[in-house]
Structure 1
Amino acid sequence: MQGISRKIAQAILYEAIAACCVAPTLSIAYHRDLAYSGALSLAIALIAMLWNMAFNATFEWWESTRADRTRTVWRRILHSTGFEGGLTLILVPLVSWWLNITWFDALVVDVGLFVFFFLYSFAFQWAFDSLFDVPNSANEA
């Protein structure tokens, strides 16, 4: 699977699985009902999905310009760090407002989410590539 269909499938699967993990965790951690936490989780998922498509398009463009286009462990770490680091910067204001907490507390929440999503992103992307093959940008020219 390549091109836009790969990007759409990747983003939807990634965010659907993530939302199923994040909503119950936020509900328990902030003593909110599942609908309230689920709505925040969906908002995060929608923002993340848009970020996912934009970041992956940029990353794959960059990857295609490299002499060695192999997806090494270090390249996967760079991918996960860039994606999750950018998303953390985007989500701090939303989490702060939604949960009515300070930006610092929202940053702490996002750092916790970052740790989870860093590992999740690394594992998900590796599994996705195993199931659907790597994108053309990671194949030798």
Structure 2
Amino acid sequence: MRTTPDRIRHAISFEIIGLVIVTPLGASAFDTPLDVIGVVAIVSASIATAWNYLYNLLFDHAMLRLVGSLRKTIPIRVLHAVLFEGGLLIVLMPFIAWYLGVSWLDALLVDVSFAAFYLLYAFVFNWAYDVVFPLPPRNSESGPDDHGYGDRQSADRAGS
């Protein structure tokens, strides 16, 4: 499992590199000044980070209440991803439409474009990050299970 400093390095480098790439691409693709798209990108990244925290907290609580476990099957992972992106779309569209002074349809296009970029970027970034900063050897006694959650069932049974 990654250490807290490693997770912080990962999150900060993900956001900074992503903004450095997406801002000029967005400015070019939408024929919008770099500083304007930069504000949209920075605010969107900030909102996405906060939404990520809140959404995952709520989703985990809902899973514990409805399923009794935090183990995610593939269908649950698909639902998790779709609901996350749908919620983020709903949260970001009003800001994008207002700040850029565009229609809801244009805001949807910008929002979906940013989401598509970050989907591809996250795949490439995380792969590259794992190559540059490989995971430490797994400790069989306290390491995460195949899903990266640790032994949550044992923790749940122990009342943690």
- Three-state SS of the structure 2 residue aligned to 1:31 is coil
- Over 3 Å counting, the alpha-carbon distance change for 1:117 and 1:95 in structure 2 is same
Deviation at 1:104? 1.7
Using the alignment, how far apart are the partners of 2:22 and 2:101 within structure 1? 18
Q: Do 2:60 and 2:70's aligned partners in 1 also have CA atoms closer than 8 Å?
A: no
- Over 3 Å counting, the alpha-carbon distance change for 1:12 and 1:56 in structure 2 is farther
TM-score (norm 2): 0.63
TM-score (norm 1): 0.69
What is the aligned partner in structure 2 of residue 36 from structure 1? 36
Which structure shows the higher helix fraction? 1
Letter of the structure 1 residue corresponding to residue 43 of structure 2:
A
Using the alignment, how far apart are the partners of 2:17 and 2:85 within structure 1? 16
Deviation at 1:131? 5.0
Q: Do 1:51 and 1:87's aligned partners in 2 also have CA atoms closer than 8 Å?
A: yes
Matches within 5 A, 1:113-128: 113-118=114-119, 123=123
- Over 3 Å counting, the alpha-carbon distance change for 1:69 and 1:93 in structure 2 is closer
Matches within 5 A, 1:1-141: 9=8, 12=12, 15-65=15-65, 66-67=67-68, 69-118=70-119, 123=123, 133=144, 134-135=148-149, 139-141=152-154
Using the alignment, how far apart are the partners of 1:78 and 1:120 within structure 2? 21
- Over 3 Å counting, the alpha-carbon distance change for 1:30 and 1:116 in structure 2 is closer
- Over 3 Å counting, the alpha-carbon distance change for 1:116 and 1:80 in structure 2 is farther
Using the alignment, how far apart are the partners of 1:20 and 1:12 within structure 2? 12
Using the alignment, how far apart are the partners of 1:140 and 1:21 within structure 2? 40
Using the alignment, how far apart are the partners of 1:17 and 1:85 within structure 2? 24
Using the alignment, how far apart are the partners of 1:95 and 1:15 within structure 2? 19
Answer with 1 or 2: which has the greater Rg. 2
Q: What RMSD in Å do the two structures reach over aligned CA positions?
A: 3.6
Deviation at 1:101? 1.1
How many positions carry a matched residue from both structures? 136
Letter of the structure 1 residue corresponding to residue 30 of structure 2:
Y
Q: Do 1:55 and 1:83's aligned partners in 2 also have CA atoms closer than 8 Å?
A: yes
- Over 3 Å counting, the alpha-carbon distance change for 1:76 and 1:57 in structure 2 is same
Deviation at 1:11? 5.7
- Over 3 Å counting, the alpha-carbon distance change for 1:131 and 1:83 in structure 2 is farther
